[in-house]
Structure 1
Amino acid sequence: MYYIDDSEGQSKDKHLTYKIRKGDTLQSVATELGVDAYELRRYHNIHCAIPDLIEADFKSYLEFLILSPKKSAVSTEAEEKRPQKVSLGNNYKLPFLPGGIKKKYKVHYTTEVGEEIDTLEMNVSVKWLATDKNNFHLFEIKRKSIYVNNEIPDTVMDQLAAKTAEVIYPLKIVVDESGKWVAIYNFDDIESRWKATKKEILDYYEGEVTENYIDHAENALENEVTLFKYLSSDYFLRTFFNGIHVGYTADYTFKNDVFFPLEKEEESMFNVEQKINPFLDESYCIKVEQEGDFKDLAAEFNYGLDPWTGKFNATYLLDSDSYCVEKINLECSMDYDDPIKVTIAIEALKKGQH
């Protein structure tokens, strides 16, 4: 099953390895050895050659899995104190390994428009469902426990918005290999739920506000394209599935343009520097930062007026094994006549938290 292998000379310590057999998966081997699959993958990825990195599961050509040797408490403590370098894949790509992920997050938004400040809090669960042969991933998103300005929604508009959430969620989405949300998977289910919810709304609510809400919802749910456009302004989906799992340079950084819906259904472009801290932080997480300024594409048509200015700053803390989000802090602002600023905080809940 496994043996001590020193023929490769991979380190001064002999590595315990497992010979991968036909039909083996990361989870099946973890179960057989009685260890956590994430830990199994984490240790292998630290010590293997770059082409042998495990992503969603074993590569077809991978022959041996590197296992953690048994060490004394003293040596383990010394290793934990030593800075650990972040493992990247081929072409310095930040891997995206969602297989088996099932997490709950506390989400908090603060929106400031001029002197008016509004907050929204909710819990969101993210569950990986499947990965296809083209490395597209299927996720299920659920939302609950929504509070507006620290209170349960009580206005008609707030209640109607809550009804919308009941229609859209559970939401199944398709995410590409960079971790970016690219499509809605369960539009037919959502459309079916809307038919039942619409009847319930018309039976319970009335007036111009309700009529306007129904018209708006009908437009958003006209087809999969219109719903995707509507949900593109959802702060959680755009922040969490931001597509940060791409190739970096040898110094763990690069510059690119990031689009963000600071205002609903309106995209703002920011030219940002994106960088990874080469070493895990004190909580053994991978730190990814995005920082940049608003890119005013209409500046040349402002006829002498000063261009709009704005800032985009985001910090992602990722699990060093699964490369999945543990925490995000994002702040986006624009200096209009009435300045706008959105602050988004997303943090994984610990076991037992609700």
Structure 2
Amino acid sequence: MPPKYRTYKIHKGDTLISVAEALGITPQEAKSFHNIFSSEDDLISVDLPPHLRTLYVYPHIYEKIRDNPAFVKFNYGYTLRFKPVEKALNYGVMYTISSGEKEENTLKYRVSVTFIRQDEKGYVFEINRLSKTYINDEEASEIADELAEKVSGTVYPLEIVVDEDGNWIDIANHPVIRRRWEQVKKGIFEEYDGAWVKQYVAESEVSLEDKELLKMSLSGDWFLVAYFGQIYVDYTPRFVFENKISFPVVPFIKPVAYIVKQEVKMLLDEYGLVQISQEGKVSDNRSKTDLENRQNFPHDALLYLESEKAEGTYKAKYFLNAGNNLIESLFLECSLQLEKPKKIKVVVSLLEDK
């Protein structure tokens, strides 16, 4: 004889609406079915009683929630965490940078992300460039671009420390980078000459030699910011919450703040991937003029109460492997309405194993 009901364990923060959404039924259905079998003390009225720990549900539903692999598997409650694997994940990365109405440049390169160990600070990942950077599908040819490629290449392989929320918080191999820079610098002076080259090297050296300055510089790396973003968090019983995202849409200053609605889909998509989306608008305390002038602080916004607020949008979509919650692809588009409107698109996609 089939069971009359199954039970659903109620978690902290659950509401009648959130549980019904998780079960794929209406709140009225959840309430009505439970009340058939519950004691008088456990009857549901407007919402779940505060003391209620077990909900009676239709016989077929809990089996589906528990066993159906089409549902996202959270680590605990509604919290999503990544599960590092000791394997190099190779990605293709493409940036599209637009200013005004004109699409200016596309940049492409390949990069690998490898979990190498866990220490007292967090998880250590190695980031390595697998190719040169191609600008509009061509290798760098101008001397300035060649120098920039050599200097930025000094950082890789880069070892970064990532906390359990998936945010990178530290550089683990800074001493190695400093030693590597000495060799790169020597090679630059053997290949290039001129006062401006010496000035460029001197300015670059300031950031590479100082760990905090290097961290600040890397905070403008679009791949690192997008890949190690705020996606491994608590999504609440409704699978959606409001989050604050910062993105370096304007170079050489503090990233611009956006308020977004962040959501994880309860069901895996048709390819068996976890879907996470972020969508919102600028919410920065700096004015449009402050950002035009590349200010880190809201000077104009504080001096002039009627100063024009900055406007812009942020959209991102992540697709994660359902087994380890690591990123398989991501699509990000960020805009800022300045005198010359800025728009940045970031596409990251896992490359097939050869």
Taking structure 2 as the reference length, the TM-score comes to 0.74
Deviation of the 1:157 alpha carbon: 1.2
Residues in 2 aligned to 1:86 and 1:325: alpha-carbon distance in whole angstroms? 14
Deviation of the 1:211 alpha carbon: 2.5
2:277 to 289, 299, 302: 289
Give the aligned partner of residue 312 of structure 2.
310
Matches within 5 A, 1:7-18: none
Deviation of the 1:251 alpha carbon: 1.2
Give the aligned partner of residue 123 of structure 1.
110
1:227 to 203, 206, 214: 214
Deviation of the 1:216 alpha carbon: 2.0
**1:207 to 2:207 alignment:** no
2:142 to 155, 166, 180: 155
Give the aligned partner of residue 87 of structure 1.
73
Name the SS of the counterpart of 2:180 in structure 1. helix
Matches within 5 A, 1:132-143: 132=119, 136-143=122-129
Could you tell me whether the CA contact under 8 Å between 1:99 and 1:130 is conserved in 2?
no
**1:254 to 2:254 alignment:** no
Residues in 2 aligned to 1:346 and 1:276: alpha-carbon distance in whole angstroms? 19
Give the aligned partner of residue 337 of structure 2.
335
| Deviation readout 1:114-167 (Å, 9 max, x if unpaired) | 225111100000111012356x11111111232111101111111111112331
Deviation of the 1:307 alpha carbon: 1.4
Residues in 1 aligned to 2:99 and 2:110: alpha-carbon distance in whole angstroms? 24
Deviation of the 1:243 alpha carbon: 2.8
Deviation of the 1:347 alpha carbon: 0.1
Residues in 1 aligned to 2:73 and 2:79: alpha-carbon distance in whole angstroms? 9
Could you tell me whether the CA contact under 8 Å between 2:98 and 2:342 is conserved in 1?
yes
Deviates more, 1:98-107 or 1:150-159: 98-107
**1:298 to 2:300 alignment:** no
Higher CA-based Rg? 2
1:273 to 252, 261, 267: 261
Residues in 2 aligned to 1:324 and 1:340: alpha-carbon distance in whole angstroms? 30
Deviates more, 1:124-133 or 1:204-213: 204-213
Could you tell me whether the CA contact under 8 Å between 2:111 and 2:127 is conserved in 1?
yes
Matches within 5 A, 1:13-32: none
Name the SS of the counterpart of 2:248 in structure 1. strand
| Deviation readout 1:243-283 (Å, 9 max, x if unpaired) | 31011110111102111111123210000111001100011
Residues in 2 aligned to 1:351 and 1:332: alpha-carbon distance in whole angstroms? 30
Change (3 A) 1:316 1:203: same
Residues in 2 aligned to 1:298 and 1:150: alpha-carbon distance in whole angstroms? 36
| Deviation readout 1:57-98 (Å, 9 max, x if unpaired) | xxxxxxxxxxxxxxxxxxxxxxxxx77111112231112101
- Count, aligned residues: 274
Give the aligned partner of residue 17 of structure 1.
none
Name the SS of the counterpart of 2:187 in structure 1. helix
Give the aligned partner of residue 59 of structure 2.
none
Change (3 A) 1:129 1:122: same
Matches within 5 A, 1:2-81: none
Deviation of the 1:204 alpha carbon: 1.4
Could you tell me whether the CA contact under 8 Å between 2:286 and 2:310 is conserved in 1?
no
1:263 to 250, 263, 285: 250
- Where structure 1 has 5 or more consecutive residues not aligned to the other structure, the ranges are 1-9, 12-81
Root mean square deviation of aligned Cα: 2.1
**1:346 to 2:348 alignment:** yes
Name the SS of the counterpart of 1:92 in structure 2. coil
Could you tell me whether the CA contact under 8 Å between 2:335 and 2:344 is conserved in 1?
yes
**1:105 to 2:107 alignment:** no
- Where structure 2 has 5 or more consecutive residues not aligned to the other structure, the ranges are 1-5, 8-67, 288-300
